[in-house]
Amino acid sequence: MTLKRFWCSGMWLLMVIMLSAPAVASDSWNRYKDRYLSADGRIIDSGNHNVSHSEGQGYAMLLAVHYDDRPGFDRLWSWTTAHLSNKQNGLFYWRYNPATADPVVDKNNAADGDVLIAWALLRAGEKWHEPRYLQQSDKLQSAIILHNVVTYAGHTVMLPGAQGFNKTSYVVLNPSYFLFPAWRDFARRSHLAVWNTLIDDGIDLLGSLHFGSSGLPLDWVALNADGSVAPATAWPPRFSFDAVRIPLYLWWYDQKSLRLVPFQQFWQNFSRQHTPAWIDVLSNNSAPYTLAGGMLAIRDLTMGDSSNLNETLSDTQDYYSASLQLLTWMVWQEK
């Protein structure tokens, strides 16, 4: 084969790869939509009685931007605004149950869902040059600051919801709601100092959230008025399906963050196939089943095991696992 023919063959192969790559990505995203996205734009939580959450809408909107699916994004956003908008405070109701007479019985919001939606709108507006998305993101960011961000015990923190988490003598926090990469983008967009303060104080707080011999944070914690932290009494003291997202968001923000070390040290005690899905950090009792799907993908990302990262969804995955797997793949691709 001559050099010219070799070069032409190589270029042809490269073009084939480049043209086929988006199709593979599209197949994964289409498979996700086929399973969990209703015709009218609702993400169905297949592992939780087919309800929907603002979190799920936000995850899917982020993925739609990543996969360059503007029609899918618009469908998701249209349903979200039609069914979850709280006109009183500019936030979104956290849960929608189509099986009840009033699908939105609980009028509270979930701060992470609102942040995910605002972040997806910001990324969509910048990617597709759509000022309307940017304006809607700005408006939602302002509502989040007004209703969910407080300064308590010397820390600026984001409460999990506008109602019910400030107990006066302590506040309840969910560290997996510390969406550092989103807050960084909000700071860049708005130039408001509060977002960088949230980042700095959130990372500082994570340095205190080491419980039990595992040294891991919990799904839910109490920040006391004196600045001390403790397990929140209304939930099991577990590093579980909420807190597993902490290293994902940390890695997304700074893949060299020292706050990743406790997760790496804990997970290195187990082989990949035998990592427990959760651990009670006080008793050291662990789940009788192992990490799988999206949760296992977060472990792989955190441990630097990129060889196992992929976007191929299994037939048995529920909405949450599939969402985390595609998000982890998205994070890996972006970095």
What is the rounded CA–CA span in Å between residue 174 and residue 158? 9
Spatial separation of the C-alpha atoms in residues 316 and 35, rounded to whole Å? 11
* Alpha carbon distance 291, 284 (integer Å): 16
Distance separating the N- and C-terminal Cα atoms of the chain? 38
Catalytic: 130?
no
Is 69 one of the annotated active-site residues of the chain?
Answer: no
Amino acid, res. 189: R
CA-nearest of 36, 93, 21 to 323 is 36
Burial level of 106, CB count in 10 A (0-12/13-18/19+)? middle
DSSP assignment of 261-325, as one string? HHHHHHHTTS-GGG-BS-EETTT--B-SSB--HHHHHHHHHHHT-GGG------TT--HHHHHHH
Which is the catalytic residue, given 55, 185, 280, 311? 55
Judge whether 32 and 322 are in contact, CB under 8 Å.
yes
Kindly name the residue from 68, 69, 102, 112 that is annotated as catalytic. 112
Q: Which residues are catalytic?
A: 55, 112
